[in-house]
Amino acid sequence: MKFATEYLWFNTRRHREYINITDKVEEVVRRSGIREGMALVSAMHITAGVYVNDAETGLIQDIDEWLERLAPTGPDYRHHRTGETNGDAHLKSLLIHHEVILPVTDGRLDLGPWQQVYYAEFDGQRRKRVVIKVMGE
């Protein structure tokens, strides 16, 4: 049984940003030598997420506007009594989910033709991390 654990660091220029990390996850799988198994990709923060969808610029803007509609930026969150201002980022993270788990078959991510893995930053401009753990043989 083999394991590989690697961490990706991000420090986005914008407050919200969507970064395609499919190639980086594929690289971790390749380096692991694992042919059959599963790859867990998980944000280590409560104001960021990881999801699988399309690498299409218009759609990414649609996703961003949709998240802002369902979990809007605003001054009125109770969480802000702690001095924080990022209540919306927590809700966006819950909505998009913080992790995905991907099948590994024949040494590759077993994804459909349009499936890409994204890191979604909802409270950026600081150093943040994603853990990738591959498990199999």
Shortest distance, CB of residue 24 to its own copies, whole angstroms? 16
Best CA proximity match to 117, nearest among 131, 133, 100, 130: 100
Of 13-21, 24-32, 108-116: span binding its own copies (CB under 8 A): 108-116
Cα separation, 57 vs 90, in Å, equals: 24
What is the CB neighbour count within 10 angstroms for residue 35?
14
Query: In the beta sheet, which residues pair with residue 43?
Result: 130
Stretch 27-86 residues interacting with its own copies (CB under 8 A) = 36-38, 40, 42-46, 51-54, 56-59, 61-63, 66, 70-71, 77-82
Contact 20, 55 (CB under 8 A): yes
Shortest distance, CB of residue 13 to its own copies, whole angstroms? 21
Please give the helix or strand (H or E) that residue 23 lies within, else none. helix 22-32
Cα separation, 18 vs 10, in Å, equals: 11
Total number of residues that touch its own copies (CB under 8 A):
58
* Residue 102 engages its own copies in binding (rule: CB under 8 A): yes
Structure tokens at 12: 């986005």
Of 8-16, 18-26, 99-107: span binding its own copies (CB under 8 A): 99-107
Residues that bind its own copies in the complex, under the rule CB under 8 A: 1, 3, 5, 36-38, 40, 42-46, 51-54, 56-59, 61-63, 66, 70-71, 77-82, 87, 90-91, 93-103, 105, 110-112, 114-115, 129, 131, 133, 135-137
